[in-house]
Chain A
Amino acid sequence: MKCKVVLTILTVLLLSLATGCWNRSELNDLAITVGLSIDRTDNDRYLVSAQIVEPGEVAEKGGSGRSPVTLFNETGNTVMEAIRKMTTNSPRKIYMAHLRILVIGEELAREGIGDVLDFMIRDHELRTDFFVAIAKGRKAKEMLTIMTPLEKLPAVKIYKSMTTSQNNWAPSLSVTLDKLIADLANEGKHPVLATLEATGDEKAGNNKSNMERIDVPASISSASLAVFKKDKLVGWLNETESKGYNYIINKISTTLGFMSCPNGGKIAVQVVRSNVKVKARTVDGEPIVDVDLRVKQNISEVLCRIDLTKEETFAEIDRRSVQKLEDILDSAIVKAQKQFKSDIFGFGDAVHRANPRLWKKLRKDWDRHFAIMPVHVKVKVQTTLSGTINNSLKNLIKE
């Protein structure tokens, strides 16, 4: 009996030593990848670049003056092949669970991103919470070669500035992989992705000296949006259209808008709350979409002489805001309908919800129907606060 117990315990202990600790890896055996870019090469292969953290350089103290990240490049017939090939160059295992941003080259995006995304979804190591962006104008790889201020890791900087601007600046949009996949799989909606643009001297950006100056020579920003039709890039939205797009898909948390004053000059308002309802209805067997936008805003900057102590002034601001917002929304809708013929707003979903039977008929060539469908935009604005002062300083300055 005792012998048996001892034997069992021994067996368990020895077996646990024999596990070999499958897929165990120490932190200093990982090449923590924070950014990944995929480009098309001329000979129909993929150029994959991985931005990898040099942990020693990011540490609070120490750091030997090397760059905080390093870039591994490899070409391959498939994305996975290129990544595996990287280990010939990297002393550590490429570890992608903490990927922050995936940048896809414009050329590749125009051909279709479906193929490269398969690996991203299939591999268990990758989480789906990183942002996907399109490199506008340049190769995707170049977006990962620019040193950035404030954040030591460029990919983290891009991730964070996309998150912050999405919350504070209407035209910005950040799309995570899982949302992109949901959009791709959705018949009633085409995806839209953020774009990255590099500005300034690229050569200087690729150097630590980029960070040694106050006014950095090269920087990276995300401004306009990339419009897709299925998985193919078809064009860009400019800033106003991006703003309209974000209003319609209800992604605005707070932003800033401006309009002209009745007697010249400008006034800026801060949108504090924005809520949109997209509803479809059927008239004579044809779908119609109503976009009903409600906005609550505060006055944040007055560059003209108006009397903010009067209620009529607020009513006037409301009126002008409605006008302005309707223009913004229309511009986005028109562009999507006329130029891209791509339902990026998910109006198809609205039709699907409102009238499933009709949707069944229309879904086959929804994009054609989308391009000609009437969209009614209705905006309601409420201007409430005027900040810490009433009338502008301008009113006090006697001319």
Chain B
Amino acid sequence: MRRNNHPERQEAAKQTAQLHLDLHHNVQHIRQTLGNSGDLVVRDLPIGANEQLHSAIIYTDGLVDTTSIQSGVIEALMSGLDQDALANAIRSDADMLNYLSNHALAVEQINETDTFDELIHSLLSGNVILLLNGYDRGLFINLSKYEHRAIMEPAVETVVRGPRESFTESLRTNTALIRRKIKDQNLRLDNRMIGRITKTDIAVMYMKGIADDHVVEQVHSRLDQIDIDGILESGYIEAYIQDVDFTPFPTVYNTERPDVIAAELLEGKVVILVDGTPFVLVVPALFISFLHSAEDYYQRADISSLIRILRFIGLFISLLAPSLYIAITTFHQEMLPTQLLIGLASQREGIPFPAFIEALVMEIVFEVLREAGLRMPRAVGQAVSIVGTLVIGQAAVNAGIVSAAMVIVVSITAIASFIYPAINMSITMRMLRFPLMGLAASFGMFGIFLGLMVLLLHMSSLKSFGVPYTAPFSPYIPDDLKDTVIRKPLWLMNTRPRLINRRNIIRQGKTSPPPAKPK
């Protein structure tokens, strides 16, 4: 084939490239297309007692199950064939490809094609190709098997009570994990492939009859529009399907927990699984769901409600603690109790920087520590954390660079920012903390409330796949408040969220009994 520098024409040429009748030519073509790749295995295999048929088996080493190839393909073709029947078939001029796939190959999945393009794609996704001399078609047999991680405990979303399994990088494992939770015929799975070069497998799952058809349609149409060379993580998909780009708030939820996904499916949400990542996307996403943890539903209602309230307190602390400290100590000193004011003033004695700079320095140091903690090699972890604690905890105060109160404020903020079950909301709050600190330093309390007002307005303007982000607070849906800041007992949660699911909202019979009372 002539080299063609124009990629589009090259693409077109490839697509139309048909298999040749000559086996040798076909094998050469595949070899050439893959650039004589080192992991390409080509095995010439004469079939029949008299070697009447010339065939070739081609596969990519490492992507296929070699034991299956040996037993299911090679052995079957070499010794498993009924030689008389074979001879008969050849004599009667039957279609040998058909004959072989029907009588010889002891494997599950066999497909046929006549284009090189498909052959090569199947080759690269773990299929074994069987070509016969004299046929301009080829078989590809799915025997893919590659090394992947076992199902492990969730690393990010940990719970005390609840399932201990999390998704893995393998799409099939992940869909199976979901199927094992929801054994219903209405659980639908649409497969698709995105990425011009990576050709990544994507699966869209939803409950037919519960999920809003418009949302499913929207998901598909937004996925259709993605035209990118590669999808390496679900974050790629998220970036393309989210409603608004310029917002600090995530409008697509992600999780690594199959139980969460099952719960979301039952609420009528649509999930998107991407091969190669354990993080599964969920749409539509509401602000409130970023503050909910899977465990909220596994613990008793009173405990979960209290913990959720705690989480909301944590939300405000992580967002506002430094800015409130700045505003109160530099503008509204009269708001503090006298003793506290004197205590704070005595700590600030001799501190050279204004409270804002102090807070900014401490926050940045903490963010650096956090990021370093994430990225550094495990082996040096301890050293970094010791130095970090000493530097920001002890030494900075003793040296008179920051006040002890500021260390407390920053630490409380830091700890509170870990209370979010969803890490991306925690990042959002981290980002928003800094402009609020600036506002507090320039306008005091007034600035903080101005900032919060802007945030609130912005949040109310957001939508995720047609569902208002702040629902059920705005628009106000009293019935859906059952599962927001508090969580009612399960037997009182009779309906699904109304905005996500418009038709099929009853999730349990009204008669579903409250816990039995002892007689």
A98 at the interface (CB under 8 A from B): yes
B window 307-348: CB within 8 A of A? 329-331, 333-334, 338-339, 341-348
Contact of B442 among A21, A28, A34, A97 (CB under 8 A): A21
A153 in the interface (beta carbon within 8 A): yes
B350 interface residue per 8 A CB criterion: yes
With A19-B442, A32-B345, A98-B341 known as contacts, the answer to whether A27 contacts B334 (CB < 8 A) is no
Known: A16-B439, A26-B348, A27-B355. A100 touches B342 (CB 8 A): no
**In the complex, residue of chain B having the shortest beta-carbon distance to the beta carbon of A24:** B330
B280 CB, nearest partner CB in chain A, Å = 34
Docked pose: A97 CA to B330 CA in angstroms: 13
Number of B residues near A (Cβ < 8 Å) is 26
Q: Does A289 contact B (CB under 8 A)?
A: no
Interface string of A332-343 (1 = CB under 8 A from B): 000000000000
- A266 smallest CB distance to B (angstroms): 40
Query: Is the beta-carbon distance between A24 and B333 smaller than 8 angstroms?
Result: no
Q: Is B371 an interface residue (CB 8 A)?
A: no
B438 touches A16 (CB 8 A): yes
Task: Give the docked Cα–Cα distance between A24 and B439 (Å).
Answer: 13
Q: Tell whether, in the assembled complex, residue B331 and residue A28 are in contact, meaning their CB atoms are under 8 Å apart.
A: no
User: Which listed residue, A17, A23, A153, touches B342 by the CB 8 Å rule?
Assistant: A153
A56-B442 in contact given A32-B341, A156-B338 (Cβ < 8 Å): no
Q: Is B497 an interface residue (CB 8 A)?
A: no
CA distance A344 to B42 in the complex (A): 113
Residues of B within 8 A of A26 (CB): 329-330, 348, 354-355
Asked if B30 CB lies within 8 Å of chain A CBs, one says no
Does B441 interact with chain A (Cβ within 8 Å)? yes
Query: Any chain B CB within 8 A of the CB of A127?
Result: yes
A57 to B346, CA, bound (A): 8
Q: Is A397 an interface residue (CB 8 A)?
A: no
B240 on the interface (CB 8 Å rule)? no
Distance, CA A100 to CA B351, complexed state (A): 27
Which one of B330, B346, B349, B439 lies within 8 Å of A25 (CB-CB)? B330
Q: Is B388 an interface residue (CB 8 A)?
A: no
Give bound CA distance, A27 to B344, whole Å.
Answer: 8
Which A residues from 16 to 72 make CB contacts under 8 A with B? 16-17, 19, 21, 23-28, 30, 32, 34, 53, 55-59
Q: Is A95 an interface residue (CB 8 A)?
A: yes
Chain B residue with Cβ nearest A16 = B442
Query: Would you give the shortest CB distance from B284 to chain A, in whole angstroms?
Result: 27
Query: What's the Cα separation between A125 and B351 when bound, in Å?
Result: 25
Q: How far is the CA of A130 from the CA of B345 in the complex (A)?
A: 20
CB distance from B243 to the nearest CB of A (A): 18
Residues of B within 8 A of A53 (CB): 342, 345
Q: Which residue of A lies closest to B447 (CB)?
A: A16
Please tell me which one of the listed residues A28, A97, A156 contacts residue B345 in the complex, with CB atoms under 8 A apart.
A28
- Given A26-B354, A27-B355, verify A127-B334 contact (CB < 8 Å): yes
Q: Which residue of A lies closest to B330 (CB)?
A: A24
Cα A100 to Cα B333 with chains together (Å) = 15
- The listed residue (A16, A24, A32) touching B331 by CB distance below 8 A is A24
Q: Does B138 contact A (CB under 8 A)?
A: no
Complexed CA–CA distance, A68 and B220 (Å)? 72
CB distance from A26 to the nearest CB of B (A): 5
Contact B441 A27 (CB under 8 A): no
- Give the docked Cα–Cα distance between A156 and B345 (Å): 16
Q: Bound state CA distance, A95 and B339, in angstroms?
A: 15
Measured between beta carbons, the chain B residues less than 8 angstroms from A125 are 334
Whether A30 lies near B338 (C-beta < 8 A) is no
Task: List chain A residues, Cβ under 8 A from B434.
Answer: none
Are A27 and B438 neighbours in the complex by a CB distance under 8 Å? Answer: no
Which of chain B's residues have a CB closer than 8 A to the CB of A55?
342, 345-346, 348-349
Chain B residue nearest in CB terms to A18: B442
Residues of A within 8 A of B444 (CB): 24
16 A-B pairs (CB sep. < 8 Å):
A16-B438, A21-B442, A24-B330, A24-B441, A24-B444, A27-B330, A27-B355, A30-B333, A55-B342, A56-B346, A56-B350, A97-B334, A98-B333, A98-B342, A153-B342, A156-B338
Given contacts A55-B349, A98-B333, A98-B342, list 16 more A-B pairs with CB under 8 A: A16-B438, A16-B442, A25-B330, A25-B333, A27-B345, A28-B349, A55-B342, A55-B348, A56-B346, A58-B343, A59-B346, A97-B333, A100-B338, A127-B334, A153-B342, A156-B339
Q: What are the 9 tightest A-B residue pairs by CB atom distance, in nearest-first order?
A: A97-B334, A55-B346, A59-B346, A55-B345, A27-B348, A27-B345, A56-B349, A28-B348, A98-B338
